[in-house]
Amino acid sequence: MLLAAGSPGIAADPAPIPAAGQAAAPADLRLALLAIRINGIDQPDPVWVLYDADALYVTGDAALAWRLVLKEDDTRLFEGETYLRLDTAEGLVAGLDDATQTLSITAPAHCSCRRARCCRAGPTGR
């Protein structure tokens, strides 16, 4: 006999408690593995993207790899991973193409160095 989680005799795993300034992912958020196009250039690896009708979210690692400076004041916690809202970057435009399962990002150049870690300091890279 199989019992579902939360049924008598089986304890359901508690939901993680979000850190300060972090919202738990609402039920209407979806997670998808998408192809990525940045400033018209297809990226070699797909990325997990969290999205709803109002916003697109990516992990901090993805943002750093793309040299995007995203604010951390609107984040979502999903399955233990923190996702940052894409439209918090100044001048960034992002769109999801359902037909091709591609996240297209148009972002102004704001970091001229070759090392992504310089972008953590802001647009000047200093």
Which three-class secondary structure state does DSSP give residue 93?
Answer: strand
SS (H, E, C) 19-37: CCCEEECCCCCEEEEEEEE
Which three-class secondary structure state does DSSP give residue 78?
Answer: strand
What does pLDDT average to over the chain?
Answer: 76
pLDDT digits (tens, 9 = 90+) for 79-122: 999 999 999 988 999 999 999 999 999 998 864 334 444 444 44
What pLDDT shows up at residue 77? 92
CA nearest neighbour of 126 among 111, 105, 108, 109: 111
Q: Give the tokens for residue 57.
A: 């979210």
Task: Give me the architecture of the 22-121 domain, per CATH.
Answer: Roll (3.10)
What's the pTM value of the predicted model, to 2 decimals?
0.66
Q: What is the mean pLDDT of residues 13-30?
A: 56
What pLDDT shows up at residue 60? 93
- Positive or negative: CA dihedral 83, 48, 54, 124: positive
